[in-house]
Every structure is written in structure tokens, then in C-alpha cells.
Structure 1
């Protein structure tokens, strides 16, 4: 029961990380306008995401526009898109594999593949968390470098948006869930031999003679029964004893 509870905890942590990754991927709040210099008092605020760019007016109007051309986007934005989508796909795969490998499911019950499936799901959650963490860390570094660039105008400087912080939280949840699943799988594999020895009675191996009958005993031919090597003291003729003919 303890191992089952640990597996459920790791699965739900990874599932929360997956949901956070999806929300962070879709939100446009990756970069928000920095209020520095002449931008301290402004009536509009700009926000940029992976898929769209939004403008918020002080009157309450919120407008968003999708990026129409993929090739016209910067390379860092294209890489961030690919990494986040790959992280979401890996999380889906991790969830499916983990569900099949957990003890609370009926798939392959009492089978030896349960533990490897849980381990594979944990590794997939770890990979998804690392992909998300790399993306948000890369974006954070770009925003900070542009913010402290003295040659960049104040109107083109941005701050870290809410989606980046959500991405950090999602990556942490995915990594934690993957570690918990891997730990539960390793503990299950270490205890399995003792459990099998305790519950399963020892049975003797099948007798070999039931599979293959034993060979008949060797009996020498009657004609060669009393043959022996001739000696000088024995009365023999041509190597045969006389009592064979009496």
C-alpha cells in the first residue's frame, strides 16, 4: 500500500506539471513591457508569448494577434516553441506509461513489466521537466540580457512574464513527480525477490527421467563374457580358454 501511495503521489505531481506546462505554453505572458525611463507612465502594455502578441489598453481593451509567419520569427522563439511542445508530448507519453505500470491499475497485474513501466514513466516526466526548465531558463536569460543592454532603447525592453514563472513551477513539479516514480520503481524491484520467496512455495525441479527415460543397463555379449587376455600360465589356445569348449 505504501508503494502504491508513492506511485500515485508521483503520478499526480507529474500530471500537475504537465497541466502547468500546457498553460505556460499557451499564455502570451512570457515577456511584458518594462516600465523604465519614459515608459513609467503609459496607456498601453505589450506582452509577447510563444504564439501571439497582445496589447492591453488602459481603457480595458485587450487585443491579441497570432504570429502569422513561422519563418519570420526569431530563432530563439522557434526553439522555445519546439521545446515546449516536445515537453508536452513527453508528459502525455509519461502519463500513459505510468498509468499502465502503477499497481492500482489492472493492466498486466502481477507481471514483471509493471516496475519497468513505472520507471519509464518517471524518466519521461524527468525529460519533460528538463525540457521545460531549459526553455524558461533560456527565455529568462534573454530578457535579463536585453534589459541591461545599454544600447537598447527603453521602449524595447521587457520583463519576465507570468508564464515564465509558471513554467518554472511546472518544471519543478514534473521533475519531482519523475523522481518519485523512479524511486518507487527502484524500491519495488529491490523488494520483489523477497516477496516472491515468501509467498511462493518452493517446489522441487521436475524429474529428469519423466522427460527422457533412462538408458537400459549395458550387458556384454555372451560370447565375450569370459574372454580375458591370455597369460603364460593359462592353458589356452589362440587366446581362448579351454573351459569354453568343455
Structure 2
């Protein structure tokens, strides 16, 4: 930003450099990209962790030497001696349907985040891909939409798991040994979903700002007329003007002809 002041006047004029809006847009895009990237990392960690459900210490389970934890891919047992024993789920069809759906949704969320990161990198102004082209803004918008979809998929999964855990916990017909609490991976999934949604919104907002600054299609300059088939290197010839002497002779001859014409008075 430049401040121009006149010596003879007190008022000063502010002039904004044309590079300042570009730098601000680049900073906003970087912020949205890193928020979405953090959400992607958190979603991957939450998907791999086995702490989606942990043993509820209620009733006879208040004092116990073991703790059970269930995740999307494995089930672990923690002993009071500090030893962890984990076992992967061997059969896919034997798993509950909610667990299968949670697996699919989290994997789809991670894949969508990867796609969003790749598209956003190609559309950001700080990269050399298609620099100066009108494709930049749609690419950033597509990356933001992909981050929004990834955040929604992760949010649906953790919300579904939270609802199942709470419903089972308050079920009076379920034994206390089979009740679980919400694990740390679920809270991490909530945080990852919020980061992905925030990053997607920021990227979409930056893309809408770029489109508003672009001049409308109607105001674009019309294409220039096509060049002629050939160019004449010689200057055009001046228009022809008859000499003054020739003009006087023509005028005199006309007058003499009019005076020597046949008249009726000459024969009377």
C-alpha cells in the first residue's frame, strides 16, 4: 500500500499495489489447504487407531486388570502389566454392518482428502501449474468441495459410532461387561472433520473472491479485425488535379462558342 501526499495540500491519497490482492488470496488459499491437510492426517490416524470403543468401568468393571478396546480394523486388550495384545478382524462378512459401513466411509473420506489435496495444489496461485490461466479458480473450487465431502463423510462416521455407543450404554438389558464408552479415536475424528470442513470452506471462499474480481464476459474487448491479405509498401498517390492553364483555356473556349452561336438578330 502506497501513500501519496501533496506538499500544497493536507490530504493524502492511498493507492493499493496490484500485487497485494494476489498475495492476500495466496495466503487465504494456503490457510485453507493446510487446514484440509491437517484434517486428512487426523482422519488417517483415527482410522488406524483401535480406540473407537473402550471398556466402560461401571458396575463390576470398576476394578479390573484388563481393558478392552475396539477399532475399525482390530480389537485390543490392555493388561495392568502394560502389555497390549491386538488381533485383526479375520472375517469381513462376520463383522457387524455398522462397522463395515464405518470402514467404507472412513476409507472414502481419506481418498477424497487425497484427491482434494492434489486438485487444490494444482489450482493454487503459488504453484506453476497453468499459471495465468482461467482454470486456476475452478480447480481451487473443486478442491474445496472435495475437502467438504471428506469432512462430511468423517463426521457422519463418528456421529454414527457415537450414537451406537450411547444407545448401548443406556440399554438396561445389556450386561455391564458388554458396555463401551466413546474412545479417543472418535474425538480425533470429530476434530479432523471440523478441520476438513473449515479448509474446504476457506478454499471455496477464496475461489469465489477470485471470480468476483474477474471482469465480466460482456466487457471483454472485441477481437480486432483480421489483417489485410497484402500490405502496400508504397505511399498512396495524390489525387489528380488539372493545371490552371488548362482550366482557363477550357473556360475561354466555352465563352467563345456561346458568343459565336447563331442568333436571330444577325439576320434581321
- TM-score interval (norm. to shorter): 0.7 to 0.9
The alpha-carbon distance between structure 1 residues 129 and 200, as it changes in their structure 2 partners (threshold 3 A), is farther
Q: Which moved more, 1:233-242 or 1:87-96?
A: 233-242
SS class of match (1:47)? strand
Displacement after TM superposition at 1:192 (Å): 1.7
Structure 1, unaligned runs of 5 or more:
none
Q: Could you tell me whether the CA contact under 8 Å between 1:126 and 1:174 is conserved in 2?
A: yes
Deviations 1:104-127 (A, max 9, x none): 000000000000000000000000
Structure 2, unaligned runs of 5 or more:
1-22
Displacement after TM superposition at 1:203 (Å): 10
The alpha-carbon distance between structure 1 residues 171 and 218, as it changes in their structure 2 partners (threshold 3 A), is farther
Aligned counterparts of 1:75 and 1:122: Cα–Cα separation in 2: 31
The alpha-carbon distance between structure 1 residues 198 and 54, as it changes in their structure 2 partners (threshold 3 A), is same
Q: Structure 1 length as normaliser, TM-score?
A: 0.80
Superposed structure 1 runs of 4+ greater than 2 Å apart: 194-246
Displacement after TM superposition at 1:49 (Å): 0.1
Aligned counterparts of 1:206 and 1:189: Cα–Cα separation in 2: 37
The alignment's C-alpha RMSD in Å is 8.7
Q: Which moved more, 1:39-48 or 1:228-237?
A: 228-237
The alpha-carbon distance between structure 1 residues 140 and 198, as it changes in their structure 2 partners (threshold 3 A), is same
SS class of match (1:89)? helix
For 1:229-244, list aligned pairs within 5 A: none
Greater relative contact order (Cα < 8 A, sep 6+):
1
Q: Structure 2 length as normaliser, TM-score?
A: 0.74
Aligned counterparts of 2:267 and 2:245: Cα–Cα separation in 1: 12
Q: Could you tell me whether the CA contact under 8 Å between 1:21 and 1:88 is conserved in 2?
A: yes
